[in-house]
């Protein structure tokens, strides 16, 4: 079991800044995120876009902001569980919580901070016969560990940036790569599409445009995928792993079942300290709602600071909190 003072659900910019504010008050944090990487929407949706409304940075690329935040919180040694969705939470007799992840991880904490943004990014699933038979073993909606595909035959499906980028990357890892797309042109960045066309011309990948997915098949384990082309001909492609990359759509997910007051997919909070209706559970960043709420990174940072001042009493019930500027106290590493 992982033990920490504060368990932060969501490793987006707001969850990361909460680590900094908590660290100033000597509170330790563990973060858990369903995505395989840190950074929330910034790293997942728009890593290369410049942001213009972060104080002190006339413009900064989204991924660069996340990298800077990681540098800023390093002294407080936060720990992470990535690629795991929080499913449930159990209140303990002493008021603390167990947070339970989809792979069985248990985090014991005094305070829960939900910084879940728009919610879990759930994969858009293809309509395909036998999908559920192989879903747990051979179907991958995200590439968490490219090594999983070393020396294997793989089929990637999709026409966006993820499908293109992973096709290019996995060509250097897998034995045989097939990219299937239902249209005859790609949605993703033109330079990535160019790389894919070049790989196809060089015979390094098998590119099947204007093909639709029909079914998965095999004997116990995945052996082939059946497709149909524009002329309604059936094609069978041998494969060991299937990677459908049709994008992710955010859903509030299991958090909606925890008894929190929810309004239009967001958690209602008290703006005094961003607590929810359940004691020791706070909600900050895009996931919360209150009159006048703006879904902006800087608003989430403010909420994180106030939340930490309030959470302190649960972690150090015998201590009086005295507010200090960083210019006075500095940043004292753990
Ligand atoms: C294209 C685009 C451009 C934008 N531009 C700007 C801008 O210029 N300026 C600005 O201020 N804002 C901008 N935003 C908004 C900004 O990205 C959000 O306000 C910000 O990401 C909110 O941060 P967060 O940490 O609250 O949530 P998120 O960044 O959404 O991170 C939440 C994390 O929680 C995880 N999570 C959710 N539920 C669970 C669960 N049950 N278990 C495990 N993990 C979970 C998610 O996987 C996610 O990684 C933009 C947004 C988009 C999409």
pTM over 0.85: no
- For the cut 80, the answer to whether the pLDDT of residue 35 exceeds it is yes
Nearest to 187 by CA among 158, 159, 157: 159
* Residue 100 to residue 107: CA distance in whole angstroms: 7
Cα(22) to centroid of ligand 1, in Å? 20
Mutate to test the pocket of ligand 1, among 9, 16, 116 (most ligand atoms within 8 A of CB): 116
| Ligand 1 contact, 279 CB (< 6 A) | no
CATH number (3.40.720.10, 1.10.150.20, 3.50.50.60, 3.40.50.720) of 2-121+249-329 reads 3.50.50.60
- CATH architecture for the domain at 125-246: 3-Layer(bba) Sandwich (3.50)
Distance CA 247, CA 142 (A): 9
The CA distance from 312 to 110, in Å, is 10
For residue 148, the model assigns a pLDDT of 94
> Among the atoms of ligand 1, which is closest to the Cα of residue 299?
11
113 close to ligand 1 (CB < 6 Angstrom) = no
Q: Point out the annotated binding site for FAD.
A: 33, 41, 46, 86, 121, 286, 327
Among 69, 26, 18, 25, smallest CA distance to 324 is for 25
Span 111-121, average pLDDT: 93
Q: Which residues are CB-neighbours of 117 under 8 A, at least 6 positions away? A: 10, 12, 14, 40, 41, 250, 285, 286, 287
More confident residue, 173 or 44: 173
What value does the mean pLDDT take over residues 191-217? 97
List the one residue out of 247, 245, 291 whose CA is nearest residue 266.
291
Q: Residue 207's pLDDT is what? A: 98
Of 100-104, 158-162, 249-253, 280-284, minimum mean pLDDT range: 249-253
Q: 116 C-alpha vs ligand 1 centroid, how far in Å?
A: 8
Q: How confident is the model at residue 144 (pLDDT cuts 50, 70, 90)?
A: confident
Ligand 1 atom closest to residue 52's alpha carbon, by position in its atom list: 8
Residues 28-34, mean pLDDT to the nearest whole number: 97
pLDDT above 80 (res 171): yes
CA distances from 176 to 199, 213, 223 (A): 12, 18, 13
Q: What is the pLDDT of residue 103?
A: 93
The answer, yes or no, to whether residue 76 has pLDDT greater than 80, is yes
Residue-averaged pLDDT of the chain:
95
**3-state secondary structure at position 284:** coil
In the prediction, which pLDDT does 123 show? Answer: 85
Tally of CA atoms within 13 A in the half-sphere of 298 that contains its CB: 7
180: its two tokens: 């299937």
Pocket test for ligand 1, best of 7, 8, 10, 294 (most atoms within 8 A of CB): 10
The average pLDDT across 33-57 equals 91
Residue span(s) of the chain under CATH 3.50.50.60 come to 2-121+249-329, 125-246
């Amino acid at each position: 079991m992982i033990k920490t003072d504060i368990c932060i659900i969501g490793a987006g910019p707001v969850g990361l800044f909460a680590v900094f504010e908590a660290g100033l008050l000597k509170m330790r944090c563990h973060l858990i995120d369903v995505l395989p990487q840190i950074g929330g929407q910034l790293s997942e949706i728009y890593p290369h876009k410049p942001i213009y409304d972060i104080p002190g940075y006339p413009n900064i690329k989204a991924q660069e902001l996340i990298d800077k935040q990681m540098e800023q919180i390093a002294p407080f040694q936060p720990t992470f569980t990535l690629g795991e969705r929080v499913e449930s939470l159990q209140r303990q007799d002493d008021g603390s919580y167990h947070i339970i992840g989809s792979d069985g991880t248990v985090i014991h904490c005094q305070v829960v901070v939900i910084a879940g943004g728009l919610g879990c990014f759930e994969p858009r699933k293809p309509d395909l016969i036998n999908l559920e038979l192989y879903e747990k073993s051979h179907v991958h909606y995200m590439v968490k560990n490219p090594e999983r595909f070393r020396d294997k035959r793989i089929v990637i499906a999709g026409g966006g940036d993820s499908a293109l980028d992973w096709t290019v990357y996995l060509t250097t890892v897998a034995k045989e790569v097939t990219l299937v797309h239902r249209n005859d042109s790609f949605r993703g960045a033109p330079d990535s599409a160019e790389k894919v066309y070049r790989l196809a011309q060089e015979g390094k990948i098998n590119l099947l445009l204007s093909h639709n997915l029909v079914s998965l098949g095999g004997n116990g384990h995945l052996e082939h995928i059946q497709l149909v082309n524009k002329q309604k001909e059936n094609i069978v492609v041998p494969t060991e792993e299937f990677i459908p990359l049709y994008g992710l759509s955010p859903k509030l997910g299991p958090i909606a079942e925890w008894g929190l007051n929810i309004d239009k997919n967001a958690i209602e909070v008290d703006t005094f300290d961003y607590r929810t209706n359940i004691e020791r559970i706070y909600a900050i960043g895009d996931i919360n709602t209150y009159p006048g709420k703006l879904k902006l990174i800087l608003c989430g940072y403010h909420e994180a600071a106030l939340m930490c001042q309030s959470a302190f009493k649960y972690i150090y019930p015998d201590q009086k909190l005295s507010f200090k500027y960083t210019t006075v106290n500095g940043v004292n590493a753990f």
